[in-house]
Amino acid sequence: MDLTISILYGSVRSERQGIKAAKYLEKRVGERGIKTHLIDPLEYQLPFLDKMYKEYASGEAPAPMEELAEIFRASDGFLIVTGEYNHSIPPALKNLLDHFQREYLFKPSAIASYSAGIYGGVRAAVHLRVILGELGMPPISSMRPLPKIEDKFDENFEPKKSQIDRSTTRFLDELIWYAEALKAKREKGVPF
Ligand SMILES: Cc1cc2nc3c(=O)[nH]c(=O)nc-3n(C[C@H](O)[C@H](O)[C@H](O)COP(=O)(O)O)c2cc1C
């Protein structure tokens, strides 16, 4: 089944490390023949939330918001790559997520988290799970925590240790299973 997965990344820091995790996951999803969009808030430069996308009249949303809405509408699942800032998610990620709503509905999400420390951002991941549920993109059971992010990947975004791929494979298997299942079900209609 043809699938499109959007990978949402949330750090805009000049020395951000998590982009390595986002690019690694983009590669691994792409290697399965799935179309990917890596959404980097630095590229789209959404303002701090004023109006949500749905609050604009048709055709009047700012161009980057319109572009994102189109990408999200065409996506069959969302892979969210979150760092951990004071035990929660980065503000640019929350800002990006909050701009949209309908575009997420009845599509699965999966959380990859990372941090400089040994816990791999799991506290932020747990917060994010609640947010994704509210947004209507139910999170899958598996999470993919990546501790000590600075030193995890080489310059080609390949993991330095082979075990890293093992957990990633299982994590992506689950996301893709749900993405295929929900896509087939969406094609028969959605409850609202
Ligand atoms: C504002 C801020 C808060 C942070 N809070 C945490 C934290 O609660 N737990 C943690 O493990 N690391 C924390 N860190 C360290 C981050 O895990 C580390 O800097 C990581 O690289 C941030 O992701 P980024 O580089 O993609 O922005 C924090 C970093 C920043 C900038």
What are the pLDDT digits (tens) for 128-151? 999 999 999 999 999 999 999 999
Tokens of 20: 């390595």
Task: Name all residues whose Cβ lies below 6 A of ligand 1.
Answer: 11, 13, 16-18, 83-87, 115-117, 119, 149
Average pLDDT over residues 168-182: 98
Q: What pLDDT is attached to residue 183?
A: 98
Q: How far is the CA of 108 from the centre of ligand 1 (A)?
A: 26
The model scores a pTM over 0.95: yes
Q: How is the chain split into domains, by residue range?
A: 4-186
Give the whole-angstrom CA distance, residue 138 versus residue 124. 17
What size, in residues, is the chain? 192
CATH superfamily of 4-186: Flavodoxin domain (3.40.50.360)
**Strands, sheet with 109-114, edge to edge from the N-terminal-most edge strand:** 35-39, 4-9, 77-82, 109-114, 139-146
Is it the case that residue 162 has pLDDT exceeding 90? no
Measured in angstroms, how far is the CA atom of residue 122 from the centroid of ligand 1?
12
- DSSP string covering 24-76: HHHHHHHTTT-EEEEE-HHHH-PPSSSS-GGGSPTT-S-HHHHHHHHHHHT-S
Q: What is the DSSP letter of 163?
A: H
